[in-house]
């Protein structure tokens, strides 16, 4: 690792065996992996160190490790902004990074932790705070002396370049979706008739909002992704219709939406403990699943780039589908999909360390987390990510 926190990736041949259970049911990782710095079949970069920062359009593949706050606990990147701005959490506190340097988000009185989850192209950040037995949604700009608490909000999920913010609150035991314009509530996001809201997760520059809901009828239940049109007052529509009777095991969770309305997320088939990366395309008649990473048996999509149709998430394995015995599964691994073809793996920070991807930009930066040789989860950015990616 260089002094700037960057691990250059000039040759890559990382061989994966099979992989771990998803985070909720994580198993002991025992993978046979070639060390990262001799890994993966991406072509070597001919760019000298530092050239990528000076020459527009030059892409330097690297795994950049960002600084962490003092103390114990992990760090992760959840969003990518302009001019090397990244946002996320470190040691349980909301932070942002300029380059590799970490900065605290100021906490209001009685709040003790939180996370920044998104940032727009103008540097407006949003996230959630915890403390004193409650949570609160907030917005913040670098250099501000204090955060702005969003009225009624418990969580903020996303922000677009017009400054609109989406998130949720809980009232009377029910989840309520909210959209803010600056520091005022613009609209409440009601689910379709017969549904209850389970999440509000993403917002694009066209004003479309994605989330999820569940419905119950005649003792049968089902789940659907949801889309709210941009115009205020427009009713949400399910992204896929009610499945045949008696299918209570399928749950869909949209996670992000790009400027063209493409939505990515995850299909959770609870009967077999499998997660599958999923995409919905306008006019949203059906969902499509591009597959899994190599021989992995589970995986997610967490984000899609604003305009280039590149999606990222995390590959893992099912406790029920295998591999068996479970301890033979390798750790979770960040994955990327160019929009066509197979899913690809992103290099690890340490040979047996798990990694996750949560954000992707149009210039092929991918933000997430990766465990180092001491098993500490570090905030990382894969630069020129598709040139690092490889088929396991």
CA distances from 365 to 54, 152, 311, 313, 360 (A): 17, 34, 11, 13, 6
**175-179 mean pLDDT:** 97
Q: What is the CB neighbour count within 10 angstroms for residue 54?
A: 9
Intra-chain end-to-end CA distance of the chain, in Å: 24
> Residue holding tokens 């789940």?
223
- Euclidean distance between CA atoms 382 and 192, whole angstroms: 39
Residue 189 lies in a domain: yes
Residue 229: pLDDT over 80? yes
**Residue 228 is encoded by which pair of tokens?**
């709210």
| Helix/strand/coil (H/E/C) assignment for every residue in 130-194 | EECCEEEEEEEECCCCCCEECCCCCEEEEECCCCEEEEEEEECCEEEEEEEECCEEEEEECCCCC
Residue 1 lies in a domain: no
Q: Is 57 exposed, middle or buried (0-12, 13-18, 19+ CB in 10 A)?
A: exposed
Band of residue 286 on the pLDDT scale cut at 50, 70, 90: confident
Residue 142: per-residue pLDDT: 95
Strand partners, 278: 265
For the chain, the domain total comes to: 1
CA-closest candidate to residue 77, choices 67, 304, 29: 67
Residue 199: per-residue pLDDT: 97
Q: Where are the alpha helices (DSSP H) in the chain?
A: 51-54, 385-388
Among the residue ranges 47-51, 52-56, 170-174, 205-209, the one predicted with the least confidence is: 47-51
Task: Note down the domain range covering 334.
Answer: 6-388
Q: Please report the DSSP string for 97-108 in residue order.
A: EETTEEEEPPPP
What DSSP character marks residue 25?
Answer: G
Strand partners, 64: 6, 381
Residue 57: per-residue pLDDT: 58
Residue 170 lies in a domain: yes
Residue pLDDT, tens place only, 319-376: 999 999 988 999 999 999 999 999 999 999 999 999 999 999 999 999 999 999 999 9
| Helix/strand/coil (H/E/C) assignment for every residue in 336-360 | EECCCCCCEECCCCCCCCCEEEEEE
User: Using an 8 Å Cβ cutoff, are 239 and 263 in contact?
Assistant: yes
- Euclidean distance between CA atoms 269 and 280, whole angstroms: 17
**110-128 mean pLDDT:** 98
- List the CATH number of the domain containing 315: 2.130.10.150
Q: SS3 for 303?
A: strand
Residue 220: per-residue pLDDT: 75
The phi and psi torsions of 326 (rounded to 5 degrees) equal -55, -30
Name the residue with higher pLDDT: 153 or 16.
Answer: 153
**146-150 mean pLDDT:** 98
Residue pLDDT, tens place only, 240-269: 754 554 467 888 999 999 999 999 999 999
Q: What is the CB neighbour count within 10 angstroms for residue 77?
A: 29
Summary mean pLDDT of the chain: 86
Residue pLDDT, tens place only, 193-212: 989 999 999 999 999 999 99
Dihedral-angle region of residue 322 (phi above 0 means left; psi in -120 to 50 means alpha; beta otherwise): left
Residue 359: per-residue pLDDT: 98
Residue 243: per-residue pLDDT: 52
- Euclidean distance between CA atoms 122 and 161, whole angstroms: 7
Residue pLDDT, tens place only, 88-105: 999 999 999 999 999 999
Question: What kind and span of H or E run contains 195?
Answer: strand 195-203
Band of residue 215 on the pLDDT scale cut at 50, 70, 90: confident
Indicate the pairing of strand 155-159 with strand 148-149. Answer: unpaired
**Residue 113 is encoded by which pair of tokens?**
């932790």
Strand partners, 315: 299, 333
Residue 59 lies in a domain: yes
């Amino acid at each position: 690792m260089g002094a700037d926190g960057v691990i250059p990736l000039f040759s890559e041949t990382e061989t994966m065996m099979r992989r771990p259970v998803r985070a909720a049911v994580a198993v002991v990782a025992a993978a046979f992996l070639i060390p990262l710095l001799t890994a993966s079949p991406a072509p070597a970069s001919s760019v000298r160190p530092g050239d990528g920062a000076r020459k527009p359009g030059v892409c330097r593949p690297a795994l950049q490790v960002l600084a962490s706050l003092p103390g114990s606990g992990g760090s992760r990147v959840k969003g990518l902004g302009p001019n090397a701005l990244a946002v996320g959490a470190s040691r349980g506190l909301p932070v942002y990074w300029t380059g590799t340097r970490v900065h605290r988000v100021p906490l209001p009185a009685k709040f003790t932790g939180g996370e920044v989850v998104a940032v727009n192209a103008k540097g407006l950040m949003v996230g959630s705070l915890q403390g004193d037995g409650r949570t609160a949604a907030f917005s913040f700009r670098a250099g501000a002396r204090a955060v702005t608490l969003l009225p009624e909000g418990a969580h903020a999920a996303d922000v677009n370049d017009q400054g609109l913010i989406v998130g949720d609150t809980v009232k009377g035991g029910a989840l309520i979706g909210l959209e803010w314009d600056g520091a005022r509530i613009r609209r409440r996001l009601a689910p379709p008739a017969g549904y209850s809201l389970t999440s509000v997760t993403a917002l694009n520059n066209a004003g479309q909002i994605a989330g999820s809901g569940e419905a119950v009828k005649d003792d049968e239940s089902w789940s659907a992704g949801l889309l709210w049109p941009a115009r205020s007052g427009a009713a949400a529509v399910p992204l896929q219709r009610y499945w045949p009777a008696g299918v209570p095991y399928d749950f869909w969770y949209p996670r992000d939406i790009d400027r063209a309305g493409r939505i990515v997320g995850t299909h959770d088939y609870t009967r077999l403990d499998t997660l599958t990366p999923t995409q919905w395309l306008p006019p949203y008649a059906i969902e499509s699943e591009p597959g899994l990473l190599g021989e992995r048996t589970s995986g997610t999509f967490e984000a899609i780039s604003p305009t280039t149709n590149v999606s990222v998430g995390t590959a893992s394995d099912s406790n029920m589908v295998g591999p068996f015995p479970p301890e033979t599964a390798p750790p979770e691994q960040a994955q990327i999909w160019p929009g066509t073809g197979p899913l690809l793996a992103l290099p690890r920070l340490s040979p047996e360390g798990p990694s996750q991807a949560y954000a992707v930009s149009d210039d092929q930066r991918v933000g997430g987390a990766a465990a180092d040789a001491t098993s500490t989860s570090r905030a990382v950015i894969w630069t020129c990510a598709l040139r690092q990616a490889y088929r396991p």
